[in-house]
Structure 1
Amino acid sequence: MESSQDIQSNRIVIIGAGLGALYAALTLAPRPVVMISPDPLGQGASSAWAQGGVAAAMDVSDSPAAHARDTQRAGAGTVDAQVADLVTREAREHILDLTTLGAPFDRTADGSYVMSREAAHSYARVVRVKGDQAGAEIMRALIERLRETPSIQVIEGAMAEGLELSDGAVTGVRLASSAPSGSAPLVLRGQAVLMAGGGSAGLYAITTNPPRIRGQALGMAARAGAEIADAEFMQFHPTAMDVGEDPAPLATEALRGEGAILVNADGARFMLDEHPDAELAPRDVVARAIFAQSIAGKRPLLDTRAALGEAITTVFPAVSAACARNGIDPTQDPIPVAAAAHYHMGGIATDLDGKSSLPGLWACGECASTGLHGANRLASNGLLEALVYARRAAQDIARTLGPLKEATSVRLEFAPGGATTDPAHVAALRRAMTQNVGVVRDAAGLRAALSEIAALAATQPDCESFQNICTAATMIAAAALLREESRGAHERSDFPETLPALAHRSRLTWEAAKALRDSLCDASASDPETP
């Protein structure tokens, strides 16, 4: 892809502006950094929408070892034990660091952290802020610190579209204006590139993710040749609010931690028959139960009335606001809910220091796959993983680069031109993902999804942003087709058993996924009756 400008900088380029990006930039200080943010800082990132909090063993009755065990148990056999041990050991340190940076965690009268219990945790170990405001408040505190840090430059209104390589190493990033009109691309080169551009759940028609979070980071890295791990494992949040909004508002899991129950339109509490932990079962179990109720026409509902009553309005203001916006009074009526694509366990494969398989490229946050989450992320481990790997990646970048170099500010001037994504094509892709790569999958649906994604990609071959989305969707569908079992969040109706021989992480490259897709399309073209 030719660009109109080629800009050289001594700054470290961070793609993204969520929790991982902010924390890494602050960790790298005083090394010069330039952050690429499509939206005004603090807007558009999934981190700011996170309601639950950060999981960490802060109480004397709890321990990192217990946290690691819960993480592995939820992950259904594919969690990297070394990663789980490392992340849970470091968790307390990051909570204390965030407190120092100004994160206003909920505290008791004696100064202890208020801890919530969420699904599949054996202890109350989720540190929260104002009930359901953890993501937004932590982001606000970090942005304040970032604004005070002269080594960090933030470029708003720019969108990363592709990675530049030289001799197999990442040397920079292709950028375009994030305005609807787009722009001609330009290349920004830096000392290193840290990908922190968010997850892939927005590829689905029913999602809790912000509108821009549609797998672009994964797609960019895959197209450049990076190895992708665990792409088939998409977590569906059981209790997105089923009110017709896109994205769907989230009814945080902490509500169930406080005692809220799930019922259907007949008033039956259906989770009692599904799992010993009922509403606090692992997310994949609850999501499938919610999905089954929806498919059966028995509209699932989250009932907070007995557990919280009027307190929901003060303890969970984001949920209350979404209810009010949609004419629901949760103190009087249950909240309609549906399973929605929420968090991608898969992503750019990284090592313990956040390095990808491509020299010069590191990754952290939801776009990375570290091995912590396995087949099913433990509640509130997402923000924790972003913190741990943002710092580890930043420290490794600093070690790799050696002595600090001075850098001037980056100036970008976007010129008119460039292809823009057709919203109708994006909507069609999202429908295909929800219909065929959703809560329950089978081979026929996955093949249909791969064929439809390929057809959509062919409509805009020169639009990098759309190719990134299509690549990410292809990686997820291809990995799901290749895993012929059911495990964690990956449920195959045609392969319902969990197979011990497949208790390992998946690895896939774009070339391999594309070859699989093309072979299926060729077979379908030669034999119209091929399923």
Structure 2
Amino acid sequence: MTDVHRVDVPLIVGGGVAGMTAALTLDESVILTTDLPGSSWWAQGGISIKSAFTDGAKQDRWSDLTDPAAVERIAGDGPEAVDWLRTEAESLVTDNGEQTVLGEEGIEGLDRAIETGNDATGAEVMRVLNSSLASRDSVKRLLGRAIDLITDGERVVGVVAVDSRARQRIVMAPAVVIATGGLGRLYQRTTNPRGSDGSGLAMAIRAGARVADLEFVQFHPTAMTVAKDPLPMVSERVRRRGAILVDAHGRRFMAGIHSDAELAPPGLLARAIWRQSVRGAGAYLDARHVHELADHHPTLLAHAMSVGIDPRTDLVPVGAAAHYQIGGVATDLEGRTSLPGLWAVGEAASTGLHGSTRLLSNALLEGIVFGRRVARSVAAEAETPGDVAYCPVDSRDLPVTPGPAFEELRKLMWEHVGLERDGDGLWRAHNELTALVPVLRRTLAGRDAATVAIQVVAAALRRTESRGSHYRIDHQATDPSQAARVVVEPGPVEVERLV
């Protein structure tokens, strides 16, 4: 019989910036995490305070489906969120006894940005939050992977979780917050680590929560195409400091494609670099003339040097890679989902902030701002669960780690649901994924991947136009009649009683 573990405080599922911010903002909480680091650790850019976006003159930087109210929230709450982070950092010291420092840096078009550790801001912010969490008795940590939401009627009352040996337990709580990150690992080429596999989104879909805009996935234009998985990301900041893109013959190619050359819009740039690879022309970052590269970009240098490339003297091979999930579990600006008792935050959530094209330099700030907003909403609306719990009817007595079929799924998603899509390729992906489902469902991670991938393909088929990060070569024009976010309700869910 599955053990039942009852907690009387909110349950946060996921240990990235958004999840830990929510946990630390609440008076008391339990945080359920795996031992796999998520994407927050890999964030290179600073934390930008986007009050510039409240100026009408700056609104051309918004995505065309961006919700202005979401931008106002991140702009209005940004300074307070950063002050909160500074307060957390001021209470900590580094391993050598020095106080943690959050520096400020100006970025073109933005009011203020915080940067720590040069191009390793995410790692330093995560170190601050982890240290704060470890020092507080008010936050309890559970190790495990949530595999399904449990409900009482329409209300979410907890999760089913497994440990590394696939031993299950039921965790019942007054509120559940999904903060599990994105779905980048569903693509063969990605900058996302192993933990970014769409597991929280899969749980929400199986439980019947509404999801939105799953066709929109950001592909970072310059990932280092070396023998690593995930591919190391090369930040836009390197290009802002003068690095250029050249082909295999050393010829600069972006100047003839867009007036902003290497600083062209990320989606256009990613597709241009991808096309270079498709036709065998190659794409390389030339940063040999960038001054003080080792001081400003130590992460880039370390990754490159580990595979025998020195960016100070060598060209760095680059290509596009899946980077950020724009769509997700549909929420309001307090993180509430369509299911009472369930909130979502961070990359797992779709608030309308990003629209069809992700707003850059916002991942960390979004996690902190909305993590704190979610915490306040949860504190006001959490309800003690009753004595019964139901779960979607499904196989759960399965190994956790995905098998070889997962790599087939990743290849299909990259080849047919990637930077350039068309109806034939999407239907091929749909049919081949459907055929793979019985094999994928032999593991918990494979089951989650199948659930999410099929929904992403369906969303991409549904939007018969090109908009933002969704580019259809068979529908290249933007269709004004489709200028809206698409929210989908998965439908009725068959459940079985667990408690």
TM-based fold match above 0.5: yes
For structure 2, which runs of at least 5 residues remain unmatched after alignment?
Answer: 91-99, 386-395, 493-499
CA contact (8 A) 2:26 2:375 kept: yes
Amino acid at match of 2:221: P
d(CA) in 1 for partners of 2:275, 2:112: 30
CA contact (8 A) 1:105 1:130 kept: no
- Say if 2:156 is the partner of 1:170: yes
CA contact (8 A) 1:75 1:375 kept: no
Q: Determine which of 11, 14, 33 is the counterpart of 1:13.
A: 11
- Say if 2:65 is the partner of 1:78: yes
Amino acid at match of 1:114: E
Q: Secondary structure at the match of 1:248?
A: coil
Amino acid at match of 2:45: G
Amino acid at match of 1:35: I
Q: Determine which of 66, 85, 88 is the counterpart of 1:101.
A: 88
d(CA) in 2 for partners of 1:330, 1:373: 32
- Say if 2:368 is the partner of 1:382: no
- Say if 2:41 is the partner of 1:48: yes
CA contact (8 A) 2:405 2:440 kept: no
What is aligned with 2:227? 244
Amino acid at match of 1:268: R
CA contact (8 A) 1:260 1:306 kept: yes
CA contact (8 A) 2:19 2:371 kept: yes
What is aligned with 2:438? 458
What is aligned with 1:343? 324
- Give 1:69 shift: 6.4
Deviations 1:410-464 (A, max 9, x none): xxxxxx9633444201111101100110010001111111112222222254644
- Give 1:76 shift: 3.5
d(CA) in 1 for partners of 2:333, 2:435: 38
CA contact (8 A) 1:130 1:316 kept: no
- Aligned runs of 1:17-36 on 2, under 5 Å? 17-29=15-27, 31=28, 33-36=29-32
- Aligned runs of 1:18-417 on 2, under 5 Å? 18-29=16-27, 31=28, 33-39=29-35, 44-57=37-50, 63-66=52-55, 70=58, 73-102=60-89, 104=100, 107=103, 113-117=104-108, 122-123=109-110, 125-156=112-143, 158-177=144-163, 179=164, 182-308=165-291, 311-401=292-382
Larger CA deviation: 345-354 vs 98-107: 98-107
Amino acid at match of 2:87: T
RMSD: 2.1
d(CA) in 2 for partners of 1:431, 1:393: 35
d(CA) in 2 for partners of 1:426, 1:49: 23
Amino acid at match of 1:424: P
d(CA) in 2 for partners of 1:294, 1:140: 37
Percentage of pairs with the same residue: 38
What is aligned with 2:488? 508
- Give 1:276 shift: 2.7
Q: Secondary structure at the match of 2:289?
A: helix
- Give 1:235 shift: 0.3
Change (3 A) 1:460 1:291: closer
d(CA) in 2 for partners of 1:421, 1:272: 45
What is aligned with 2:476? 496
CA contact (8 A) 1:116 1:128 kept: no
d(CA) in 1 for partners of 2:440, 2:491: 19
- Give 1:278 shift: 2.0
- Number of equivalenced pairs: 473
Change (3 A) 1:96 1:54: same
What is aligned with 1:445? 425
Amino acid at match of 1:48: W
d(CA) in 2 for partners of 1:460, 1:253: 36
| TM-score normalised by length of structure 1 | 0.85
CA contact (8 A) 2:406 2:440 kept: no
Change (3 A) 1:126 1:287: farther
For structure 1, which runs of at least 5 residues remain unmatched after alignment?
Answer: 108-112, 406-415, 513-531
| TM-score normalised by length of structure 2 | 0.90
d(CA) in 2 for partners of 1:246, 1:131: 23
Q: Secondary structure at the match of 1:486?
A: coil
Amino acid at match of 1:18: G
- Give 1:125 shift: 4.3
Larger CA deviation: 258-267 vs 341-350: 258-267
CA contact (8 A) 2:52 2:111 kept: no
- Give 1:267 shift: 2.0
Q: Secondary structure at the match of 2:158?
A: strand
Deviations 1:391-415 (A, max 9, x none): 111000011138x99xxxxxxxxxx
Change (3 A) 1:105 1:502: farther
CA contact (8 A) 2:419 2:471 kept: yes
